[in-house]
Every structure is written in structure tokens, then in C-alpha cells.
Amino acid sequence: MPGTEAEVRHGFRYEFKWDGVRALVAVTADGALQLRSRNGIDITARYPELAGLADAIGRPAVLDGEIVAFDAHGRPSFSALQSRMHLADPTRAARAAAADPVALLLFDLLSLDGDDRLAWPQQTRRAALVDLSIAADGPWSVPPDTDDLDAALTIATDRGLEGVVAKRVDAPYRPGVRSKAWVKLRLARRQEVVVGGWRPGKGHRAGRIGSLLVGVQDASGLRYAGGVGSGLTEQEIAALEAALIPRRDSPFHDAVEHRDARFAEPHLVVDVRFTEWTPDGRLRHPVYLGRRSDKDPAEVVRED
């Protein structure tokens, strides 16, 4: 959940916020590795380079972590991860793993040898994760945390990271619950939004997607938050056109001010960067970053 520095000065420890895809990691009793996205989709086959983690852990366990791709400068790159997130074919996934490998950054231990650890305090769970001494012979690691918020923010800024996650040290693990026990401190404003339609482009994009019409959920349903055109590449436009399902009526509960609007079923979540929210609830200067197949549209709300 988003928050402020003042909220997390006491009783918290701090980890870096990685610009990747959340993954629930399970090592089964027979030694197999299973990876699932936040919304329960099996994504194991998409990341074959992580298969060796089961042997590195060597016992039944369930862990929480983030799959991250890095650019040539060693910075997390969500755009680089885009080429991996939607690959279902094992042969293509294997080629992509060789060309653009990912890393798995582990930060929580939820079960070990069949014993549930969800009720344990966060720092006890993390200490148990570190004590596993997972063999570092593959693209996985347990990144360090710190009790120095100012240092964490400075390092995150210097390294071009997305931000810092503050975790209350005495908090249990609560699956699927947004709470003040985990607080995100973003260095740049980001927002997940639901695509509810599009507007045609001009010139070489005439008849194709020129901008997306996006929204966020509120008490009345999907609220219109504006259009997003910057950042759309030809490759992404083609993927979006294949994914969007047309509909006749608007999925937004409030008015969309464009006569040329084309509407779509609100099943697709994308990530945008923007400068601020306008007084009427629109995104100012939004830039498209990528699709989020790991996110449930029903859970996408405004993050202030």
C-alpha cells in the first residue's frame, strides 16, 4: 500500500522496490519448482532458468519474491521483462531465457517442511529465510534489508530503482490483503490502470490504437482516468490489439469525453508513469510502461 515516510519511521525495516513481477515460489515434496503470479496463474514454464532453485533450497518450502530483468547497466527494467512475461511456449521461453535471463529476488518465507509460517512476525520469517542459506549458484538471491530509511532512499535514488518497501517488523503475512504493514514509498509516480477502450491514431496509425482509455476502480465501478498514448510502441500496439475484446457500451461509470472512443472489455491491466492527478481525477502526462498480466482488474484502485 502506498504511504509516506512519516508513517514508517518506527517499527519498520526497509527493502528496495524492484520493478518486476511478484511470484509465489513453491518447492513441492517431490522436489519440483512451481511459480505462480499474484493472481494465481502458473508461470513456471515462462522462466526455465529458475528451475534449479528447487535443488538449491532442497526441501519443501513456499516463498514470496519478485522476478526482475536487468538492463545493460544493472538496473531493473520492466520493459526488458515484457518480452518474457507472456511467453507460454516452452521452446520460445527457453530461447528467451538464454538471450534475456531474469533474476528471482526472494524476500519472505511462508512455509517450510510443511509448517505454516504466516503468523510469524515479519522479521522472524525473514531471519528464517536467510538461515536457509540458499545456494547462490543460479539467478536468485535474498537482497539485504536495512533499518536506515534515509540510506535506503538515497541508494534507491542513486541506482535508479522504483522506490523502497517498508515492512513492519512484528506483522504476520496476510495473503491478498492491502495493509499498512507493507508500505510502498515510490520515487516516481506509477499507477496500474485498467484499459476500457482506445482512440484511433492518425497518419500511419489511422484505424489502429493511437491512445488507450484507462480507469481505476472506485465504489461505483470503473472510473475514467484519461488517455495514454506516449510510450506505445508498434510491437505493444499489435499486442494490445490482439488482447482487447471490443464492446458496444462504455465500461466506465462516468462520461468519456471523446466521440471517437472505441470501448473494450475491462480485463487488461497496464502500468503507467505520470506526473500527478488532476483535480477531476485524470492522469497528467501519463506514459505507457507495459502490460501487467499478473494483476486482477478488480483490484486496481487509485494509489495516492
Amino acid occupying residue 139: P
CA-CA distance, 27 to 35, in Å (whole number)? 9
Amino acid occupying residue 151: A
Q: Are 254 and 223 in contact (CB under 8 A)?
A: yes
DSSP state for residue 169 in the 8-state scheme: T
Within the chain, how many helices (H) and strands (E) appear?
6, 17
Please give the grid coordinates belonging to residue 282.
485524470
Residues 6+ apart with CB under 8 A from 171: 121, 122, 179, 181, 182
Q: Among this protein's residues, is 202 annotated catalytic?
A: no
Helices (H), 163-301: 234-243
3-class DSSP state of 270? strand
CA-CA distance, 175 to 149, in Å (whole number)? 25
Catalytic residue ranges: 17
